[in-house]
Amino acid sequence: MTGPLSAPGWLTDGMRHVWLPYCQMKHADPPLPVVATAGTRLHLADGRELIDGIASWWTACHGYNHPHLRAALERQAATLPHVMFGGLAHEQALVLAQRLAALLPGDLERVFFAESGSVAVEVAMKMATQYWLNRGERGRTRILSFTGGYHGDTIATMAVCDPEEGMHSLFTGLLPEHHVRPLPRDPDSLAALEAFLERHAGEIAAILVEPLVQGAGGMLFHDGAVLRRLRDLADRYGPLLIFDEIFTGFGRTGTMFACEAAGVVPDIVTLSKALTGGTLPLSAAVARTRVFDAFWSDDPMAALMHGPTYMGNALACAVANASLDLFEREPRLAQVAAIHGWLSAGLEPCRGLPGVKDVRTLGAIGVVQMERIGDLRALKRRLVAKGVWVRPFRDILYLTPAFTATQEDVMRLCGAITDVVRQGV
C-alpha cells in the first residue's frame, strides 16, 4: 500500500495525454485512481476505500462486480462478443428487445439500440421528425423541450438542453433551433405552454421531457400530473411525446420506469445508464406501434437510416439481460423504497442549516440544494476525506446510490453531506 499522496505512474504519465470530462484541466484536481470496485465501494491505488454515493453516474444499480452480471459477460465473451447488427442478428439483442417491450407500458414495442444516452435521444428526435415527413407533413421539424432539462452533450442534444442555465450556454445561438420552454409545474404555466403550442403546433415534431426528475440539469422534481398534462397537450396539438428515461429508467424513482408512476404512455422512450447495470455502454429508443407504422412502407426512403456500428453489441445486451434477471429475482424496487426512507431521514438534518435552500428525495435520489456552493473543488476533497464519493455540481449535493446500498452505507453518505453542510460550503 502506498501513502495517500503518491499517485501511480499510469496516472501521472497518462494525465499528460488524456482529456477529461466536465473540468477545467488547468485547475482541476487529478482524478482519483481507482484500482478495483466491489459492491458499493471504490478502492483507490493508495489503499483508501470510498463509499460510492452516485453509482458511477447512476448506472451501477446492482452495485459493482455483481457475480450474475460478470458470469453473463464471461459467457458471452467466450461465444459471441459482437457482430454487426446490419443484416445479422443474435439472441441476446432480440431477447432484450422482447423483454424491454414486455416491461414498458402500452404498445412501446419497437426497440432501436444505440451505444450512448445522447445517441438514443438523437435517434428519438430523428424518429419523431421523420415520423411527420413520412406522413407528408414537412413543417414539423422542431422539438419542444424544457428549461432545467439535460439530454446529452452532442450538437443535436445540446440544442434541446436548457440553453441558459446549463453548461452548454457557450453554444447559445449556434445550435439547431428548437423551442426550450419553462416546464409547466402549475396551472398558469400550463396555460402559457398551451398558448405557445397553439401558435407553434404545426412546427413541433415532439415534446421531449425527462419524466419526474430533471437529472443532470439540477435534480429538479415534478409531479406525474405534469406529465399527464403534457400527454393531453400532445394529443390535442399533435406532437409526439418523448420521455427521456435515461436517468429515471430501471427503478431509480421507485417504479421500474417513471412513466409507469405517472400513468402515461409516451410515444418514444429513451433508455441507457442502468440498462446494463453499469457495466457496458448501451442505449435504446423504444417507439410505440403508431410511430413504427409510419416507417413501414413500400418506399425505401421511409426507412429509418440510422445504424451505429456497435448497436446491439452482444456483450452489452447479454449483461442487460442479466441485469433484468436481477430486477426479477431480487427485491430491487423494495430496496429502492428502503433507500428512500434512509435518504429522507439521513438528509433531514440538513433542512434549516445555514445556506440550505431545499432538501428533497424521490426513490433512490436524495438532494440537498444550497443557496450557493463557494468552492466545489474544496468541497469534493472534504467529502473524499470523509470516505465518500459524492460529486456535487452547481448548487447541489446529491446521492444516487446503488440499490444494494445498506442502511449503514446510506447513513454514512448522508452523514458526510450533513457534516460538510453544517461546517459550511
The single residue of 64, 273, 380, 409 carrying the catalytic annotation is 273
Q: Which of 244, 267, 380, 409 is catalytic?
A: 244
All three cell numbers of 290: 403508431
Q: Is 386 among the catalytic positions? A: no
Q: Please tell me the distance from the alpha carbon of residue 279 to that of residue 87, in angstroms, as a whole number.
A: 26
**Shortest gap between Cβ of 262 and ligand PLP (angstroms)?**
15
Which of residues 239 and 249 has its CB atom nearest to ligand PLP in the complex?
249
Are the C-beta atoms of residues 83 and 421 closer than 8 Å to each other?
Answer: no
CA distance 296 to 315: 29
- Assess contact for 391 and 380: CB atoms under 8 A: yes
* Cβ-Cβ contacts under 8 Å for 28 (sequence gap 6 or more): 20, 377
Q: Is 162 in the site for ligand PLP (CB under 6 A)?
A: no
Does residue 244 belong to the site contacting ligand PLP (CB under 6 A)?
yes
Residue in 113, 247, 327, 398 binding ligand PLP, rule: CB under 6 A: 247
What contacts 158, CB < 8 A, 6 or more positions away? 152, 168, 171, 175
Nearest-approach distance from CB 270 to ligand PLP, in angstroms: 7
Stretch that binds ligand PLP, among 62-70, 180-188, 240-248, 260-268 (CB under 6 A): 240-248
246 contributes a contact to ligand PLP by CB under 6 A: yes
User: Would you say 215 or 277 has its CB closer to ligand PLP?
Assistant: 215
Strands across the sheet with 204-209, in order? Answer: 108-114, 283-288, 268-271, 240-244, 204-209, 142-146, 179-181
List all residues 6 or more positions away from 80 whose beta carbon is below 8 Å from its beta carbon.
Answer: 90, 314
How many residues make contact with ligand PLP (CB under 6 A)? Answer: 14
Which residue lies nearer to ligand PLP by CB, 346 or 392? Answer: 392
Which amino acid is residue 276, in one-letter code?
Answer: T
Least distance from C-beta 90 to ligand PLP, angstroms?
Answer: 23
Q: How many CB atoms lie within 10 A of CB 423?
A: 9
Residue 232 annotated among the catalytic residues of the structure: no
Q: Which three cell numbers stand for residue 423?
A: 461546517
Distance of CA 140 to the CA centre of its chain: 27
Among 55, 96, 216, 370, binds ligand PLP (CB under 6 A): 216
Question: Does residue 152 touch ligand PLP according to CB under 6 A?
Answer: yes
DSSP state letters, 339-391: HHHHHHHHHGGGTTSTTEEEEEEETTEEEEEES--S-HHHHHHHHHHTTEE--
Active site residue 22: yes
Kindly name the residue from 64, 131, 150, 310 that is annotated as catalytic.
Answer: 150
Instruction: Give the nearest distance from C-beta 102 to ligand PLP in angstroms.
Output: 23
**Counting contacts by CB under 6 A, is residue 118 touching ligand PLP?**
yes
Establish if 148 lies at the interface with ligand PLP (CB under 6 A): no
Q: Using CB under 6 A, pick the residue from 63, 117, 211, 312 that binds ligand PLP.
A: 117
Among 54, 108, 121, 317, binds ligand PLP (CB under 6 A): 121
Output the residue with the shortest Cβ distance to ligand PLP: 117
Q: How far is the CB of 116 from ligand PLP (least distance, A)?
A: 4
- Report in angstroms how near the CB of residue 28 gets to ligand PLP at its nearest: 19
Collapsed DSSP state (helix, strand, coil) of residue 49: strand
Interface stretch with ligand PLP, choices 173-181, 189-197, 244-252, 341-349 (CB under 6 A):
244-252
The site string for ligand PLP over 27-46 (x = CB under 6 A, - otherwise) reads --------------------
Cβ atoms of residues 278 and 60 within 8 Å:
yes
Give 153-164 as a DSSP string.
SSHHHHTTS-TT
**Pick from 63, 148, 215, 254: which binds ligand PLP (CB under 6 A)?**
215
Site residues for ligand PLP, 359-388, by CB under 6 A, read: none
Going by C-beta distance under 8 Å and a sequence separation of 6 or more, which residues neighbour residue 59? 273, 274, 276, 277, 278
CB of 250 to ligand PLP, least distance (A): 12
Cell of 207: 415534446
Stretch that binds ligand PLP, among 30-38, 92-100, 146-154, 393-401 (CB under 6 A): 146-154
Q: Is 150 in the site for ligand PLP (CB under 6 A)?
A: yes
Q: Alpha-carbon torsion 237, 238, 239, 243, what sign?
A: positive
Examine the residue annotation and report whether 244 is marked as an active-site residue of this protein: yes
Provide the H-helix boundaries in 26-116.
55-58, 67-79, 91-103
Active site residues: 22, 150, 244, 273
Residues that bind ligand PLP (CB under 6 A): 116-118, 121, 150-152, 210, 215-216, 244, 246-247, 272
